[in-house]
Amino acid sequence: MDLNVTGDAIEELLEYFVTAALGLTLKARIQSASELPPGHRGCLTNQDSKPRVWAAWHTNGGPVSACAAYSHPQALRIGAYVLWIEWWIANLEHHEGWWHCYPNRPREWIKGSGTQNNSPSS
């Protein structure tokens, strides 16, 4: 099983996360960071210097933006895609945390990294 992922694959995983885990319906993709509401621009800063991918959409719940950092070492340990995901919904709602899903079930997200070490720097 190949758990190496590209930026495009992470964007696709974020799309699955927003639709399946958050239960939102995507209406249109937000292509430019300048289209993001001011409260969503936290996804554009990278304070821990880890590569992150961001994507945003207009949804039935308002604008949603999400960014993710992929943990290849944790993915190898548990045989799943493991991401630190941050997301913003509408104007005031922000969440972040470890989530993972298995390659054969990319729409079934599990809270947590699947390992004992749950710090974002892993």
User: Of the given ranges (1-15, 43-57, 102-116), which has the lowest mean pLDDT?
Assistant: 43-57
Q: Is residue 91 part of a domain?
A: yes
Q: Is residue 116 part of a domain?
A: no
Q: What SS3 class is residue 56?
A: strand
pTM: predicted TM-score of the whole model, two decimal places: 0.86
Residues 106-115: what's their mean pLDDT?
Answer: 91
Q: Is residue 120 part of a domain?
A: no
pLDDT tens figures, 19-51 = 999 999 999 999 988 888 877 766 666 666 565
Q: Is residue 2 part of a domain?
A: no
Encoded tokens for 53: 């991918």
Map tokens 């399946």 to a residue: 20
Q: Is residue 118 part of a domain?
A: no
Q: Is residue 89 part of a domain?
A: yes
Q: Which domain holds residue 81?
A: 7-111
Report the chain's mean pLDDT, rounded to a whole number: 86
Q: Which of the four pLDDT bands, split at 50, 70 and 90, describes residue 117?
A: low
Q: Is residue 61 part of a domain?
A: yes
Domain count, the chain: 1
C-alpha triplet 36, 41, 46: angle, nearest 5°:
140
Distance CA 12, CA 62 (A): 20
pLDDT of residue 32: 87
Does the structure show a pLDDT above 70 at 1? no
